[in-house]
Amino acid sequence: MWEATSDFSWGPDFVGALVDAAHRQPREPLFHGAMLTSAVSSLEAHLAHLAEEYFRAAPEALHDLPRESAKEFSLRDILAMSSIEEALEAAIESRISELSYGNLAGWRAFFKDRMKIEMPEMALDWSALIEVFERRNCIVHHEGRASRRYVRSIETQVSVHDTLQTDRDYVQQAISALELLGIRLHVAVWRKFTTDASLVGEWVEATSFAALRREEWATSLHLYETWRSLPLSNHESILAHVNLLLAKKGIHGLTAAQAEIEAWDVSGLDEIFAFAKYSLLEQLDEAFAMVPELLQRGKLSGWALAVWPLTKPLRADKRIQKYAGIMQDHLSSDATVSREVAADAARPEGSARD
């Protein structure tokens, strides 16, 4: 290559750039590795925050265990502190630092011993989560290659020093698993100390619905299961069931979920749930036939038609244009019904758009 290009003015720069490109580490794996590292670090920060709130709520726990009953501060440290509150803050910071410099097993022991919370029960797949943490360590300390500890810890065919392929799909699945663990732990700790369980339920329902809207079906499925495990009204329990069926349909498809949906007995339930069943089964003639009366009775809203993933099949049908006017304030930029169409539908007949 050098002999062919060295006589041209651009030759040296061209060859230099070619050599650099040939030896440059691919950028995509670096990006994916950075994303995974950031996601694991975010969960660790959340675990530390939960532990901090625990110690604030139960400061006597700072000296509960024999290992932690040793002298906390020297006389010099105590004299330098201005108050008991400052000493408490220093003690909490010390405990959190110990936990943060540990590993996932340490966090598991902390939540089990202190709050009777089993972390594996909070995870989608505990063994897969261990692998995510160990892979993060390999990315940070071994340039993305399998360490001896990784090979010992994980049931895998990978050998020591093999490159661990961390692609986009892996990172997305890992982030979903980390997020789910963080949310479930948050709820479990919150329930231990709250005096108003309804606040927990409201937060979980809102978080579950946000995942449902993003079509993160597996995450929303497990979050709605968490919501359904809380004290709910009968209406809320049935609504959770609707969205669980919707999440299952999103994961497996209508054909796979159809039998379970059809077996759901809605006789005797509020008519909105008959509408929900038709929508789940994508029986659009029946669903659209119910819309006017449901709207009139306040059982259905423009928000539900525009936003609820349950009504997505209706939004793909041209008959939804009839309701564009009441949907316009809730439409997103990617909605089937455009804002322009909604604005037109909201105008009195005969009025013109500017």
CA pseudo-torsion sign 318, 324, 327, 328: positive
Q: Helices 104-115 & 168-193, crossing angle to 10 degrees? A: 20
Residue holding tokens 């975010």?
Answer: 42
274, with CB counted inside 10 A (0-12, 13-18, 19+), is middle
pLDDT at 3: 64
Nearest to 163 by CA among 149, 138, 145, 148: 145
d(CA 105, CA 74): 30
Contact residues for 186 (Cβ-Cβ < 8 A; gap 6+): 46, 50
Query: What pTM value is reported for the model?
Result: 0.75
pLDDT at 353: 38
The enclosing H or E element of 5 equals helix 2-5
Alpha helix (H) residue ranges in 58-196: 75-80, 84-100, 104-115, 119-122, 126-141, 148-153, 168-193
Q: What is the mean pLDDT of the chain?
A: 84
More confident residue, 289 or 333: 289
Angle at 319 between CA 316 and CA 322, to 5 degrees: 120
Nearest to 226 by CA among 273, 169, 275, 179: 179
Residues 68-102 have pLDDT tens digits of 444 455 545 554 655 657 666 777 787 888 888 88
Residue 340 has pLDDT above 60, yes or no: no
Residues 173-191 have pLDDT tens digits of 999 999 999 999 999 999 9
pLDDT at 334: 46
Residues 255-283 have pLDDT tens digits of 999 999 999 999 999 999 999 999 999 99
110 φ, ψ (degrees, to nearest 5): -60, -50
> Please, what's the b/e burial string for 108-135 (b: 16 or more CB within 10 A of its CB; e: otherwise)?
bebbeebbebebeebbbebeebbbbbbb
d(CA 237, CA 224): 10
Share of the chain above pLDDT 90, in %: 64
| Domain ranges for the chain | 25-193, 195-264, 277-354
pLDDT at 330: 79
Contact residues for 139 (Cβ-Cβ < 8 A; gap 6+): 33, 36, 37, 164, 166
pLDDT at 87: 65
Neighbour count for residue 311 (Cβ, 10 Å): 20
More confident residue, 311 or 334: 311
Contact residues for 63 (Cβ-Cβ < 8 A; gap 6+): 69, 72
Residues 136-174 have pLDDT tens digits of 999 999 989 999 999 998 888 899 999 999 999 999 999
CA pseudo-torsion sign 168, 172, 178, 179: positive
